[in-house]
Amino acid sequence: MAKKLPSVDALMIGFGWTGAIMAQELTDAGLNVLALERGAWADTSREFATTFAQDELRYFWRHDLFQTTAHDTQTIRNDASQVALPMRKLGSYLPGTNVGGAGVHWNGQTWRFLPSDFVARSHNLQRYGAAALPDTMTIQDWGVTYDELEPHYDRFERLCGISGKAGNIKGQIQPGGNPFEGPRASEYPNPPMTMSYPPTLFAEAAKGMGLHPFPQPSANMSQAYVNPLGVRLEACTYCGFCEKFACGNYSKASAQTTILPVLMNKPNFKLRTECEVTKINLDSSGKRAVSVTYVDAAGEEYEQPADLIVLCSYILNNVRLLLLSGIGAPYDPQTGQGVIGKNYAYQITSSVNLFFDDKILNPFIGAGAHGMLVDEWNGDNFDHTGLGFIGGGYVGVVQTGARPIETHPVPEGTPNWGGAFKKAIAANYLKTMSIATHGAVMSHRGNYLDLDPTYRDVYGRPLLRMTFDYTDNEHRMSDYLTDRATDIARAMKAREIRINKRKGSWDVVPYQTTHNTGGAIMGSDPATSAVNRYLQSWDVPNLFVMGSSAFPQNPGYNPTGTVAALAYASAAAITQRYLKAPGALA
């Protein structure tokens, strides 16, 4: 028997971005809040100090900040005809662990989705007709609109001190910003990052082609900033160890650098680390969550009751815990019925390398979100008639820091090793840059998450099984974006370019992006979604499920801004409405 503990008002499962945001809001509302984090405590001065944070081998290649697959992983396959095998070592995506979660090693690329992204199904049907959407494409509207989320996006951007340039303030297009973005209430809290040479060269070429380049919105600080909670962040130093690393310099917004200094001091907040929740327990009706079961680092099992439970772990763990707890009907790809595990999606990326003779680019100078981009081919910002796909992505140069084990591009035809390889790297390293494309992935009937029939984690629980592949829609879209990137690359007049299209099936080996989405999607109908527009479980109204698991499909932007906006919107619904009358929010 698990040892039963005294009840709390609200319990957070997982303590990354959404756990910290929700705990901050609910403690402000006067609740006694407990967060359970499977990983350890982590703070800047002890875990990622500037005296040792710049270590490519330790943090990226040996995964020191990431989830340990020995403890918990996913099994993976491209389609249901294959036998799923465990992802034994991390590759394509890098989930976090420990306090702060993946928000410790994120880049800080902080976007709002387009207004049309939130109504992807109805918008595309209306503009292109039913024939434009294949039968197997299962995209849905979100049940929430951009305008409804705008104040919540704004709150997160102010919490983090996002550096950027508005492109649309209350309907007025702003020079220098992204003219395609939805209307914002106000300018970004900080000016854009100072651009290094490569993004500047891209922007010049793009502008010359009549495009509208703009600085990438960034959670790296362009200047020192004190956020609304009174927490101070410092100016970014462009060290190039940001993406996939933790910031030792208090220059990248994370739970640690924006919320925890306040939250950890509140008398009505407690955090228990190295406590992994193994199940959410329901009452006999199956409609109310009464407690969670968790295991601590010593292997002791506990039952922690709570009135309100908020699931705040990574998308893949959210979906798995729902399945393991028997909450919601599991998705069946044969019938299309059921919701848990439905509409898993990802992102599709490609790039074009440029090699110059006459330009020293110092590509190691960088930050996680430090680039110039164009958004002409994102979402439905362009006419898709006759293109054979929907959706899109952004294109641009994001100079994240060319750490040399990971980034040493060589021209087409160079051998992968030997004297010619060494010579090519020595000749090109300082004079290369890369244009990236970052594309949407629509949801499809055959892409889903369920429990693996064979493989188990250290507790003996089934692993999550991921069945995923890119479809024609994604490949056509990504090829289209790559062609546009190539056009701009040619205009930049490099000595030569190298085009890296994304070909074939999704492959777990090379790192691509940690933008996994779906599986507990939001919507306006319990038959086709797991949570409502407030991220409240349709089946268990005292359970809320945060994170990108709520995305019905994955737009062409990085997810964190929307994950946080949805968390703030959910917190507002809980504190303003749910706490007064606990139950399903209409």
Partner 1 sequence: MDEPRLSRRRLLTAGAAITAVPVAAAAATFGGRDVPFKEGQANAPAAMDDTTGWIWFTDEEAAFISAAVARLIPADDLGPGAVEAGVPTFIDRQLAGPYGRGERWYMQGPWGPGLPTQGYQTRLTPAGLYRAAIKAIDAAVMRESRGGSFAKLAAADQDTFLQRLEKGDVALDGIDAKGFFAQLLQNTCEGFWSDPIYGGNRDMAGWKLIGFPGARYDNSEFVTQYGQAYPLPPVGLKGRVEWIRS
CB nearer partner 1, residue 426 or residue 527: 426
The dihedral formed by the CA atoms of 241, 244, 248 and 250, expressed in degrees to the nearest 10: 110
CB of 331 vs partner 1, minimal distance in Å: 22
CA distance 572 to 152: 9
Could you tell me where the beta strands, DSSP code E, fall in 103-218?
A: 168-169, 172-173, 214-215
In angstroms, the Cα distances linking 541 to 281, 289, 582, 584 are: 13, 8, 8, 5
Q: What angle do CA 360, 400, 471 make, to 5 degrees?
A: 115
State which of positions 288-317 bind partner 1 (CB under 8 A).
295-301
Q: What angle do CA 259, 227, 48 make, to 5 degrees?
A: 50
**By the 8 A CB rule, do 11 and 311 touch?**
no
33-36 and 8-13 strand pairing? parallel
Q: In the β-sheet with 448-456, what is the strand arrangement from edge to edge?
A: 85-86, 74-77, 462-467, 448-456
User: Is residue 511 within the footprint of partner 1 (CB under 8 A)?
Assistant: no
Options 178-186, 320-328, 420-428, 544-552: segment touching partner 1 (CB under 8 A)? 420-428
User: Is residue 232 within the footprint of partner 1 (CB under 8 A)?
Assistant: no
Phi-psi region of 480 (alpha: psi -120 to 50; beta: other; left: phi over 0): alpha
Number of residues that bind partner 1 (CB under 8 A): 107
**By the 8 A CB rule, do 394 and 482 touch?**
no
Question: In whole angstroms, what separates CA 106 from the centre of its chain?
Answer: 8
CB nearer partner 1, residue 68 or residue 145: 68
Q: Residues 136, 174, 237, 414: which binds partner 1 (CB under 8 A)?
A: 237
**By the 8 A CB rule, do 471 and 553 touch?**
no
Residue whose pair of structure tokens reads 């680390």 in the numeric block:
273
DSSP type of residue 101: G
User: Is residue 9 within the footprint of partner 1 (CB under 8 A)?
Assistant: no
Helix (H) or strand (E) holding 427: helix 419-428
CB nearer partner 1, residue 25 or residue 47: 47
State which of positions 44-63 bind partner 1 (CB under 8 A).
45-47, 49-58, 61-63
Q: At what angle do helices 197-208 and 472-491 cross, to 10 degrees?
A: 90
**By the 8 A CB rule, do 566 and 21 touch?**
no
State which of positions 387-406 bind partner 1 (CB under 8 A).
402, 404-405
Residue whose pair of structure tokens reads 């500037």 in the numeric block:
50
State which of positions 463-502 bind partner 1 (CB under 8 A).
none
Residue 63 annotated among the catalytic residues of the structure: no
CB of 365 vs partner 1, minimal distance in Å: 5
In one-letter notation, the amino acid at residue 567 is A
State which of positions 548-567 bind partner 1 (CB under 8 A).
none
CB of 360 vs partner 1, minimal distance in Å: 5
CB of 23 vs partner 1, minimal distance in Å: 9
Helix (H) or strand (E) holding 224: none
Question: In whole angstroms, what separates CA 574 from the centre of its chain?
Answer: 24
User: Is residue 229 within the footprint of partner 1 (CB under 8 A)?
Assistant: no
User: Is residue 506 within the footprint of partner 1 (CB under 8 A)?
Assistant: yes
* R_g of the chain, CA atoms, integer Å: 23
Q: Which entry of 152, 370, 438, 515 is annotated as an active-site residue?
A: 515
User: Is residue 575 within the footprint of partner 1 (CB under 8 A)?
Assistant: no
Phi-psi region of 250 (alpha: psi -120 to 50; beta: other; left: phi over 0): left
Options 179-187, 240-248, 333-341, 546-554: segment touching partner 1 (CB under 8 A)? 240-248
CB of 87 vs partner 1, minimal distance in Å: 6
CB nearer partner 1, residue 91 or residue 179: 91
User: Is residue 71 within the footprint of partner 1 (CB under 8 A)?
Assistant: yes
CB of 18 vs partner 1, minimal distance in Å: 18
Q: Residues 126, 171, 460, 581: which binds partner 1 (CB under 8 A)?
A: 460
Options 75-83, 109-117, 167-175, 345-353: segment touching partner 1 (CB under 8 A)? 75-83
CB of 359 vs partner 1, minimal distance in Å: 6
CB of 85 vs partner 1, minimal distance in Å: 5
The DSSP bridge partners found for residue 366 are 239
CB nearer partner 1, residue 208 or residue 504: 504
CB of 69 vs partner 1, minimal distance in Å: 4
CA distance 469 to 346: 9
CB nearer partner 1, residue 83 or residue 130: 83
CB nearer partner 1, residue 131 or residue 509: 509
CB nearer partner 1, residue 513 or residue 537: 513
User: Is residue 128 within the footprint of partner 1 (CB under 8 A)?
Assistant: no
Could you tell me where the beta strands, DSSP code E, fall in 388-456?
A: 393-398, 432-439, 448-456
User: Is residue 20 within the footprint of partner 1 (CB under 8 A)?
Assistant: no
User: Is residue 281 within the footprint of partner 1 (CB under 8 A)?
Assistant: no
State which of positions 170-209 bind partner 1 (CB under 8 A).
194-197, 200
DSSP type of residue 131: G
Residues involved in catalysis? 515
